Amino acid sequence: MPSAAPSALKAPVYFLHINKTAGTSFATVAQRAFPVERTCPAGLVPELLSLPAPWIKSYDYFGGHFGLGLPSLLPRGQAEALTIFTLLRDPVDRVISQINAHFRNPGTALHKAVVERRGDVNACLAEPEIAHMLADYQTRSLGLPLDLAALKIQGPPFRGLQELTAEAARGVDPEALLARAKQTLDRCAMIGLAERFDESVRWLARWLGVPHDGPAPRRNVSAFNPDTGKPNALSRADLSAATIHRLEEINRLDIALYEHATRLFEARRAA
């Protein structure tokens, strides 16, 4: 699976964390390879932009929801040498989990809108702005370069990646966006799949040269729906075929990207 041997790994290294892909669990393994003092403590764009610029360029490892914005904050040489790895998830399952997270967490961009609709997926999708925010997030994360350096100069308040990529995606040619996201995946040193999580974790540990024995760690797993108290809130099985089809429609780029990621995963695994 890895496209580079652990011995060839050079800093800085960036886990491009895509929300609701089991990335928090994935990152617990990656973090073992880097000293705490050389690890960037930020996981979200506002946290990253709040750090002093000299600190940002001093880290060997970054893991967070920064999309393709991190390179803009690094010196040119570091940005060009950045080693990226990432983890993707089935797009429909990921967006359902995303809706659950918005419903559950007051700090998220769509919390108020989703709560007002009682977490009803159809009601959320009927609102164009909510549907736009939920669309093709994996493709946007991997295909939209963001100038975070300019935002840092402008100063707070800083917005999160989902808001930034939703805004940046307006007016962008979808096929060009998908092509750029595929190119990013092609350049990634390692790609994991949430649906093959244990296998992905084993490859990650081997690539980074860190010990891993036993089942993969589980972190940040959806706890419960505050409206019903039921574990893990909505799942694909709770939704009608028509609703699933609508989720597929607004995530058609993510579906194509996930298929590309799966082919890469298989090809590198067999190499």
The per-residue pLDDT for range 52-85, each reduced to its tens digit, is 999 999 999 999 999 999 999 999 999 999 999 9
DSSP type of residue 83? E
Say whether pLDDT at 13 is over 70. yes
Sign of CA dihedral 224, 230, 234, 235: positive
Beta carbons of 124 and 117 less than 8 angstroms apart = yes
What is the reported pTM?
A: 0.91
Nearest by Cα to 169 from 200, 131, 207: 131
Task: Produce one character per residue of 226-240: b if its CB has 16 or more CB atoms within 10 Å, e if not.
Answer: eeeeeeebbeeeebe
Within 118-215, where are the H helices? 121-125, 128-134, 137-143, 148-154, 161-169, 174-187, 197-208
**Greater pLDDT, 127 or 231:** 127
Longest dimension (CA), the chain: 51
Give yes or no for residue 155 having a pLDDT over 70.
yes
The answer to whether the Cα torsion of 103, 168, 17, 195 is positive or negative is positive
How far apart are the C-alpha atoms of 258 and 138, rounded to whole Å? Answer: 9
pLDDT at 219: 54
The radius of gyration of the chain from alpha carbons, rounded to an integer in Å, stands at: 18
Average pLDDT over every residue of 99-122: 92
**Amino acid present at 93:** D
> What pLDDT shows up at residue 11?
82
Between 5 and 114, the more confident residue is 114
pLDDT value at position 269? Answer: 84
CB 70 within 8 A of CB 83: no
- Cα 5 to Cα 265: distance, rounded to the nearest angstrom: 16
Query: Which residue has 């935002």 as its token pair?
Result: 151
What's the pLDDT score for residue 6?
45
> Which of the four pLDDT bands, split at 50, 70 and 90, describes residue 211?
confident
Predicted confidence (pLDDT) per residue in 191-204, tens digit: 999 999 999 999 99
Instruction: Assess whether pLDDT exceeds 50 at residue 132.
Output: yes
- Report which of 197, 16, 162 is spatially closest to residue 89, judged by C-alpha positions: 197
**Residue position matching structure tokens 């706890």:** 223
Q: How far is CA 165 from the centre of its chain?
A: 12
pLDDT digits (tens, 9 = 90+) for 21-60: 999 989 999 999 999 999 999 999 999 999 999 999 999 9
The pLDDT assigned to 214 comes to 61
Share of the chain above pLDDT 70, in %: 90
Under 8 Å between Cβ of 251 and 95: yes
How confident is the model at residue 165, as a pLDDT? Answer: 98
How are beta strands 83-88 and 13-16 bridged, if at all? parallel
Judged by average pLDDT, the poorest of 5-9, 127-131, 144-148, 210-214 is 5-9
